[in-house]
Amino acid sequence: MISLRARTIYNPLGAADVRDLQRVYTQIALDLVFFGIQTAFSIAAASVLARRAGRSLLMLVAIGVLFFCAAISVITNVLYYMVQLPVYSGKDVRSILQLLFRLDIVGAVAARIEYVLSDVIVVWRAWVIWSDNRIAKGILLLCTCGSLVGAILDAVWHITGKMHPHPVPKAQPLIMLILLMLTNVVATILVAVKVWQYFRDIKSALGLSARKTQVERVLVLLLESGCFYSVVWISFLAVQATIGTSKFTVAELVASVVLSISGIYPTIVVLTAMYDDKERSLLDSAQVSHAMRFADGDKAQGGDTMDDNFALTGPSTDTDGSTEPSIRMYDMTETHASEQGENSEETRTFMAG
């Protein structure tokens, strides 16, 4: 009887292979961590939006699509690396080339949809507080169209480059990044202008230098987060322009982090806009407009005007007989509970025309 012994073929990994695997595992870990964070914020935003009516449904759909694209990007990225592991044990790489191509295309398209949708939500943030200014809205619309066109062109170039490999100009991959960055920078600048108008016209008139109103907190938070997000995009653009995609250690990791932040940040923007639980948020009312005014029913009667963009107006009677300010306003309410359970409420009103 002939004894048959199974032959085991060993393919030891070299130092370069080990480094590549470490980088792959690092990127996958980052993707999963950031996706977990986005999942938490998405659930929080969805729970808030689901209790509201009207335009909140549109934002709920946007958050859902954003989360869906992020999930596809993470899944395809993980699978893209996992299916290549057998190659290290001697499997022919040609057997998985078609699968790698499909995973790469699906992930690339999902990532670009996520980029564009992220910019749309960021632009919506600025659009709401400039709802009565046609120039500002025109600039935002132009930037959004630029981001959309840039993402479509980049997706087409990416797919054709995979199907028919050819030399690509170094500036070509930067076109989409530049357009996306400009959109975020412009939206952040417009928010900064509105914050400046608020401090110039409203804050100084109300004399609340020691106490922050809710609208002030929302505006400042939008500005700070917008600045951070713009810095992220500028840094990403700088990395891509100087390093490109040749060095996996930096460019790929930065791209993965930026894509994750692109899904997290808009969700935070929506949560910020829904900060007021009494449905007086930026989403529903678009109160913070170009001509900021405030109403003081106790001191002002009629139309005593302080300056061109700042007017005091008296109260008017609503159809149900109740006395309401003549122009819609924000009610800034802060409740302080004592140890005995008693609450004292201090209401500040500020109006955006």
What pLDDT is stored for residue 292 in this prediction? 43
SS (H, E, C) 65-81: HHHHHHHHHHHHHHHHH
pLDDT digits (tens, 9 = 90+) for 225-279: 889 888 988 888 888 877 755 545 667 777 888 888 888 888 887 777 665 444 3
Q: Print the SS3 string covering 82-138.
A: HCCHHHHHCCCHHHHHHHHHHHHHHHHHHHHHHHHHHHHHHHHHHHHHCCCCHHHHH
Do 269 and 333 have their domain in common?
no
Residues 170 and 307 grouped into a single domain = no
Mean pLDDT of the chain: 72
* DSSP 3-state of 50: coil
Amino acid code (one letter) for 304: D
Overall number of domains in the chain: 2
CA distance 220 to 209: 14
Q: What is the mean pLDDT of residues 176-181?
A: 92
User: Residues 190-223, buried b or exposed e (16+ Cβ, 10 A)?
Assistant: bbbbbbebbeebbbebbeeeeeebbbbebbeebb
The pLDDT confidence band at residue 143, using thresholds 50, 70 and 90, is very high
- Domain co-membership, 266 together with 346: no
The answer to whether position 4 is within a domain reads: no
Collapsing DSSP states into helix, strand and coil, what is residue 275? coil
Full domain range(s) for residue 299: 292-352
Domain membership flag for residue 74? yes
Contact 144, 119 (CB under 8 A): yes
Q: pTM of the predicted model, to two decimals?
A: 0.69
Question: pLDDT by residue (tens digit) across 63-102?
Answer: 899 999 999 999 998 998 888 877 766 666 677 888 888 9
Answer whether residue 15 shows pLDDT above 60: yes
Residue 297, CA distances (Å) to 67, 198, 287 in order: 45, 21, 19
> Does residue 168 or residue 39 have the better pLDDT?
39
**pLDDT in the model for residue 13:** 67
Residue 45: inside a domain, yes or no?
A: yes
CA 325, 333, 318: angle at the middle one, nearest 5? 20
Per-residue pLDDT band for 288 (boundaries 50, 70, 90) equals: very low
Q: What is the mean pLDDT of residues 291-297?
A: 42
The domain that holds 132 is classified in CATH as 1.20.1070
The secondary structure of 300-336 as a DSSP string is: --S--EEETTEE---EEE-TTS-EEESS--EEEEEEE
Residue 294 has pLDDT above 60, yes or no: no
Q: What is the pLDDT averaged over residues 10-33? A: 79
